[in-house]
Structure 1
């Protein structure tokens, strides 16, 4: 366990550093958008391209792993929405709560952390889960969030906007280009590849620092709009769903798939379980703010899962490796 904590500690320490820097205003809130832009549009796509280009195409197009991950995500979304819905939490808030329960922080945290723990071959299954969560899970939850509206076309319009957002997101395109490079055994010329490498190397530390800064800003914005304390039952069970139910569900589904004779190797299943054990994706707070959901609730879930994951995620790693 200590050897695992020695690997995971620097990753969570960088998140804490970003949180403290933003909380104490050493990093102005206005600057966080610039950091996020650098990570999302420059550094992270280069990192995903580099890993995708060096990963066998069969790992990026593993149908068993893809179907298993999507099925588990749909179950987590359905269970979280069903639990969350009450007189105060309607479709909008329940749907974004479901998204943070089903969408791990794979891009900003998971890929570099899993590569550090398991080696470069862990990138393939992790990248596959990113594609599914960006294209399917996010689009579904945004569509569900519009069911509160009186307009019967609200959900379909939201789904179209979500898919448009996916099309404008550079991460899926970077993964696709990396997959094509892998399939064609091709890579850019030396100077361009060196530039990609420099940006890719910057992705992990800047992304982790940015996660902490985004969490601090989300917490501050949420506190400004709150009226009275929030019941723990509104956010703690969703955090538990993310950290415990999601990885257990992926592990159980994977063992069931293997028992049924489906091709799913031990390493791929281990990576997928560890991805599911990651904290919630920090960018969901930005989506929740854009669609008018309760950002205070979402920020609490993300912050709780991120803080607790230092112990829970490390524990899952120790159990599986």
Structure 2
């Protein structure tokens, strides 16, 4: 119970605060998009830049952690893709459902949760998990959607569009710039350092409130025949697969294993909804999946934290 009250409840209380603001009418219909833009384009990139710029290489280069978390995510994505295609789903829809079951909310929930549960030393691996999620996994889904919706287009053109989309992603650019700054030994002027720190410190609370605003939006009735397997794959199967890979295949340290499993056990991130909305593919299913997995994860994350003694 200590894990629930000291770590999980404060984080989900911020989500609930955002939910309450939207449902009560204090925040308008554009609040979700605007706050989300602040987090994605300013606050979270500043946090990623600060972490990477101030980190030692051995804090980020953890091959076992990268393999366990990355392969765990890809395995769940592949399982969902095959399952949905065998059910007759369009490849574009199956790819988005792959994100629904494998795209962990590492950016909005992962950072504050890891910091509270494991301390600031866990933010290096949390950054790696975020990069793998928002770049590798999202890039793969984006490529498949592009190929599915443009069957006559060349593979080179689809790859070009995906590469350009990722190159513009601030969540990818920020850690790259941070790595360059660290490699070159750049020392930030005090004013710029303070500016980045203010933005970075705003990332976690604003991200959680933005998520609450998002889940408060009214949406259609859930299709439980699809949503139930997606939520189970995300909150139960993915952390189980990641744990097996981390503990028994790559044999990483117990601390890194705990971080990898916790990151993989996070609810579905809003990136899946953004992709569905952009391409006009089953956005109601994706939105409901984000909502339901976020609610259920309060219990599943509490169980994991209690198991690891936090």
Distance 1:147 1:113, change over 3 A: same
Alignment of structure 1 residues 236-247 onto 2, 5 Å: 236-247=228-239
CA distance in 2, matches of 1:3, 1:133: 26
Distance in 2 (alpha carbons) for counterparts of 1:11 and 1:230: 25
CA distance in 2, matches of 1:48, 1:89: 36
Residue number in structure 2 paired with 1:16: 16
Question: C-alpha distance in 2, partners of 1:96/1:58?
Answer: 34
Range with greater deviation from structure 2 (143-152 or 10-19) = 143-152
Q: Is the 8 A contact 1:55 1:121 kept in 2?
A: no
The match for 1:265 is 253
Pair 300,320 (structure 1): closer, same or farther in 2 beyond 3 Å: same
Aligned to 1:302, which of 290, 293, 298? Answer: 290
What per-residue deviation string (whole Å, max 9, x for no partner) do you get for residues 122-145 of structure 1?
011111111122222111112223
Change beyond 3 A, Cα 1:110–1:138: same
- In structure 2, stretches of 5+ residues that fail to align are none
Tell me if structure 2 keeps the 8 A contact 1:91–1:144. Answer: yes
CA contact (8 A) 2:105 2:267 kept: yes
Partner of 1:311: 299
Tell me which residue corresponds to 1:5: 5
What is the rounded CA distance, in whole Å, between the counterparts of 2:3 and 2:38 in structure 1?
A: 32
Q: Residue 226 of structure 1 corresponds to which residue in structure 2?
A: none
Note if contact 2:147-2:158 (Cα within 8 Å) is conserved in structure 1: no
The answer to whether structure 1 residue 31 and structure 2 residue 31 are counterparts is yes
**Distance verdict in 2 for CA 1:197–1:255, change over 3 Å:** same
- Residues 61-100 of structure 1 deviation map (CA, whole Å, 9 limit, x = unaligned): 2233223322222211111112223556322222111112
Corresponding residue of 1:50: 50
Partner of residue 203, structure 1 = 203
- What TM-score results when the alignment is normalised by the length of structure 1? 0.89
| 1:147 Cα deviation from its structure 2 partner | 4.9
**Do the aligned residues in 2 keep the contact of 1:243 with 1:305 (CA within 8 Å)?**
yes
State the TM-score, normalizing by the size of structure 2: 0.92
Q: How far has the Cα of 1:185 moved from its partner?
A: 4.9
> How far does residue 280 in structure 1 lie from its aligned partner after superposition?
0.8
Alignment of 1:1-321 (within 5 A): 1-85=1-85, 89-149=89-149, 151-153=151-153, 157-217=157-217, 220=218, 222-223=219-220, 230-258=222-250, 264-321=252-309
Gaps of 5+ in 1: 224-228
State the distance in 2 between where 1:112 and 1:190 align.
25
State the shift of 1:242 in Å.
0.6
Distance 1:208 1:52, change over 3 A: same
Measure how far apart 1:211 and its partner are.
Answer: 0.8
Q: CA RMSD in A?
A: 2.1
CA drift at 1:13: 1.1
CA contact (8 A) 2:105 2:270 kept: yes
1:157 Cα deviation from its structure 2 partner: 4.2
